[in-house]
Amino acid sequence: MDKAKYERNSSEARKRFSSTIKGIPTYKRSRQSTINESSLNPTKKPDNPLTSPYGRCPNVSERYKKISRIGEGTYGIVYKAIDQEASTNDSQKIVALKRCLPHFEASDGFPITTLREIQILREISLDGGHENIVVLKEVAVGSNCSSVFLVFEYLHFDLAKLIDEHYGKYSKSPFTLAQTKCLAKQLLSALVHLHEKCIIHRDLKLSNLLYDKDRGLLKLADFGLARKMEGVCEDEIATLPSYLPSARLDMDLTPRVVSLWYRPPELLLNATTYSMAIDQWATGCVIAELILGKPLFRGKNDLDQIGKIVEVLGSPTVKDWPDLLDMPLVKGGTVQLPFAVTHNEVNSNQTKGTLMDIFTDLSPSGFEVFENLLMYNPKRRWSATVTHDCAWFDEYPHAVNREFMPRFDNKL
């Protein structure tokens, strides 16, 4: 793409950003100030949204002061920063800035993932938001045409770093079973809210779960791969069977979503039609990791990941998963299934025995959670609502209240 065309497309993209962020709360100074700011800085002209190169968005370098870099992914870099316009006593003075990396294959010069993330978080915020979903405060821009930042509330930890550091020292999870239940309930509450809106996250993993140590609060973050599903309205969800994910199964979607260790079998076999059930498989992997302190399935690539899953859950059968033979990699011959699989001759006790060896302290209702979340057939996996209301959370040890969750000393 030549420079002139890129600059033109970037200018058009800024206009799209301005229209997209309508409805997101902003934190600009009041126009009726008791101080004449122009007299303090006579060389600075007041910004006019119609003529300012930043439009309705604040200038990131004027508004925010970066403190440190706290994360990096495929679609952006995250910084801890200070909101210099917030009052000294404002608890939200510290924010997280996510710089969106431009992808030149996008026709407008900006990644479609960024536009989706803004639109989805905006939709969530319109009805008051959800306490377990991260809050997008606003969009800020820089003088460079590729400098676009999403401004989020700041939380102390992401659970991946927290658990990895603790496991490296003590070879166990930092959370007790009761504390794990508290975190799992919060995660499931966020997913219930998303799935009722027919929003699928598609990148559920520990590093996208943020933790506020002062409130024992978990928040689901990073909606760069999330998207709105079509075909099932909210008022139709109640009429569906409890085990059926609330979205169409006949949409063509990319299989290259969800990080490898949390990726369900249908995506590993290259399926392009899937549902909210991929979030439910990832939820099972996340809860397992919270208990164990390490990932349940740690494959090196897609085929190795399938092997790790089969070692724990046993081989799938056509009887349990009728769509198995229609999976692209199976149908194309890339993945060869054992003869016994197509004739349903797998020992069903293999799964329970392996899970019992891994989760030695789990009750029968705890095993039921994993058996129904880590199920090969996505149509039979428990929904977020069913999992949230399952018997495991009602038995001893009960989920602790958030105020009694651990307060870790180290900070990111």
CA-CA distance, 253 to 235, in Å (whole number)? 24
The closest of 223, 204, 341, 209 to 263, measured between CA atoms, is: 204
Label residue 121 exposed, middle or buried (CB < 10 Å: 0-12, 13-18, 19+).
buried
Strands 148-153 and 94-100: antiparallel
Q: 243 phi and psi, to 5 degrees?
A: -85, -10
Contact 7, 102 (CB under 8 A): no
DSSP code string of 195-241 = HHTTEE-S--SGGGEEEETTTTEEEE---TT-EE--S--HHHHTTS-
DSSP code string of 298-335 = --SSHHHHHHHHHHHH----TTT-TTGGGSHHHHTTSS
Neighbours of 135 (CB within 10 A): 18
32 token code pair? 């009726």
Element (H, E) at 168: helix 159-170
Amino acid in position 343: H
The closest of 30, 17, 197, 221 to 119, measured between CA atoms, is: 17
Label residue 181 exposed, middle or buried (CB < 10 Å: 0-12, 13-18, 19+).
buried
The closest of 342, 258, 238 to 302, measured between CA atoms, is: 258
Given the residues 2, 90, 108, 203, the one annotated as active site: 203
394 in catalytic set: no
DSSP code string of 36-56 = -HHHHSTTPPPP-TTTSTTTT
CA-CA distance, 20 to 6, in Å (whole number)? 20
The closest of 377, 353, 385 to 367, measured between CA atoms, is: 353
CA-CA distance, 354 to 348, in Å (whole number)? 11
Catalytic residues: 203
